[in-house]
Amino acid sequence: MPTPVPTPVHDVVIVGGGPAGSSCAYWLADAGWDVVVVEKKHFPRVKTCGDGLTPRAVRQLADMGLEDALAGSHKYGGLRAYGFGQSLEMQWPEHPNFPNYGYTITRHDLDGLVAERAVKAGATLLPGTEVVAPLIDEAGSTLPHLKGVTIRENAAGGGRGASGGGKDRELLARYVVVADGANSRVGRMLGTNRRRDLPLGMALRGYYTSDRHDDPFIESHLDIRDAEGNVVPGYGWIFPMGDGRVNVGVGLLSTDRRWKGVNTSHLMDAFVNWAPESWGLSPATSLGPPTGGKLPMGLSVGPRAGANVLLAGDAAGTINPFNGEGIAYGYETGRLAAAALGHALSGEGPRALADYDRQIEAAYGPYYKVARAFVRMISNPQAMKLCVGVGMRSEFIMSELLRIMANLMRPDAPGPAEIGFRAMELISRLLPDEVAALEAASAGASGSG
Ligand SMILES: Cc1cc2nc3c(=O)[nH]c(=O)nc-3n(C[C@H](O)[C@H](O)[C@H](O)COP(=O)(O)OP(=O)(O)OC[C@H]3O[C@@H](n4cnc5c(N)ncnc54)[C@H](O)[C@@H]3O)c2cc1C
């Protein structure tokens, strides 16, 4: 009888090959570890997004050796903000750690590039394969201890309802990273939860053809109006793609007490009507119906670490509440997870995973606390009008605010943004999230009554 071949035990299995999963795989493979990424779709694949890369995201891509690969994408220099009748153009700031430019690139093109880079560095990618369940070894104090995951090859290589094509099989690993995005089915199977008292975003985007497709600024609209000129809850964006198209979207935050009653498709229609005519947005230039998704933000999902499991990216709620940016934080948290796993695999064991949790808290905790307090404040229409009205009169104030909101403050040269942020931090310390959430809820209850 032939001797049975033992099932290999990989160093790390990663669930999901988006920004968080692929960056984690790249950094692990680059350090020489045996890492497998399980991705339910085949690259290139469509992913609903605004397609905007800020200087933070560009820095991470450059560190992975991918900046040259962005050469054909649209490079832009800053943000144009519109609000209450004013508009301002702000360049990305000079910063010792980040470039002063960003790119727009579809996720269709971007995500495959990073996954391919991880494979070049030595990672194994299993495309068109879904993790259908975690293989739980034993319960843990935060998350269960896993021996790996159960995977299934998708019949048509991805898409809802496509699973069930292949036979289930076990993929064994010493450590597992959950990077399966905003809905994080696998995370929830392990017992993760999103804190409902913290903000959640919801956004919708569509593509339009536009003569201004190569505009040097991405554009953000802080107030959007309906056909009668009334302010509607939410914000809008127009991101030039440089390929004949613009990415147009609207977003809404759960901290806005009008959130529940909003139909996002109507919000999108209102924005398309309201947007400056020069963009040429209309049903005739639309390239198809918009699609949307959730934005778990402000470190609202946890636990993030167990004895041999880590969560990264949207699965851990790492989107920046200030600006809805999640790609850079996917890359960064994937990289932090890889570093922690490197220590764990080198002999430190589970202690290194607890360090990951602490590092995430140290890197983003205080900043996101301020961001959460800020978005709660501006979700009040009067406060929003006051802030935007004052800010939009001064390019200086808005440029400093941009540095805060894009997380581009300088530890080496404290200026107005850093001082302003410290003040915001002190105020947010006096107002714990729970109190703010209760206040918002009771304001909502009295407002609607
Ligand atoms: C409308 C909208 C606009 C946005 N605009 C921007 C923007 O302009 N800039 C920005 O920085 N951020 C933006 N974001 C946020 C950004 O898209 C996310 O933060 C980012 O994609 C998070 O990366 P991730 O790797 O954590 O998750 P994802 O990108 O969602 O990747 C998860 C991957 O896991 C795979 N997967 C899921 N489940 C399984 C499973 N069981 N088995 C195997 N594979 C699985 C998925 O197919 C996917 O490829 C936007 C979000 C939305 C909804």
How much distance in Å is there from the Cα of 290 to the middle of ligand 1?
A: 16
- The full DSSP string for 53-71 is E-HHHHHHHHHTT-TGGGT
Half-sphere exposure at residue 312, Cβ-oriented, CA atoms within 13 angstroms: 35
CA distance 173 to 135: 10
List beta partners, residue 74: 104
Angle between helices 381-391 and 395-405 (to 10 degrees): 120
pLDDT tens for the 449 residues of the chain, in order: 677 777 899 999 999 999 999 999 999 999 999 999 999 999 999 999 999 999 999 999 999 999 999 999 999 999 999 988 889 999 999 999 999 999 999 999 999 999 999 999 999 999 999 999 999 999 988 999 999 999 999 875 444 444 456 789 999 999 999 999 999 999 999 999 999 989 999 999 999 999 999 999 999 998 888 777 778 888 999 999 999 999 999 999 988 877 878 888 889 999 999 999 999 999 999 999 999 999 999 999 999 999 999 999 999 999 999 999 999 999 999 999 999 999 999 999 999 999 999 999 999 999 999 999 888 888 887 887 888 777 888 888 889 989 999 999 998 888 999 998 888 888 777 766 655 555 555 444 333 32
Distances (CA, A) of 139 to 135, 147, 189, 278: 11, 12, 13, 58
Sheet of strand 235-240, all strands in order from the earlier edge strand to the far edge: 86-91, 78-83, 217-221, 235-240, 245-253, 200-209, 291-296
Cα maximum dimension of the chain: 82
Tokens of 202: 């919801």
CATH of 200-296, one of 3.90.320, 3.40.50, 3.30.70, 1.10.1060: 3.30.70
The CATH class given to the 9-74+105-196+299-366 domain equals alpha beta
Global pTM reads 0.94
How much distance in Å is there from the Cα of 205 to the middle of ligand 1?
A: 14
Buried b (16+ CB within 10 A) or exposed e, 78-88: bbbbbbeeeeb
The minimum-distance atom of ligand 1 relative to the CA of 314 is 26
Q: Which tens digits make up the pLDDT trace of 420-429?
A: 888 888 877 7
On whether the CB atoms of residues 423 and 429 are closer than 8 A, the answer is no
Which residues form ligand 1's pocket by a CB distance below 6 Å? 15-21, 38-41, 47-52, 130-131, 179-182, 185-186, 203, 205, 249, 292-293, 295, 313-315, 319, 324-328, 330
On whether the CB atoms of residues 194 and 300 are closer than 8 A, the answer is yes
Per-residue confidence (pLDDT) for residue 70, from 0 to 100? 96
Q: Which tens digits make up the pLDDT trace of 218-235?
A: 999 988 887 777 788 889
Task: Give the chain's end-to-end CA distance (angstroms, integer).
Answer: 77
Residues near 85 by Cβ (< 8 Å), separated by ≥ 6? none
CA distance 272 to 261: 20
The minimum-distance atom of ligand 1 relative to the CA of 329 is 19
CA distance 100 to 103: 11
Boundaries of every domain in the chain: 9-74+105-196+299-366, 200-296, 367-448
Residue 365 sits at the vertex; the CA angle it makes with 372 and 58, to the nearest 5 degrees, is 90
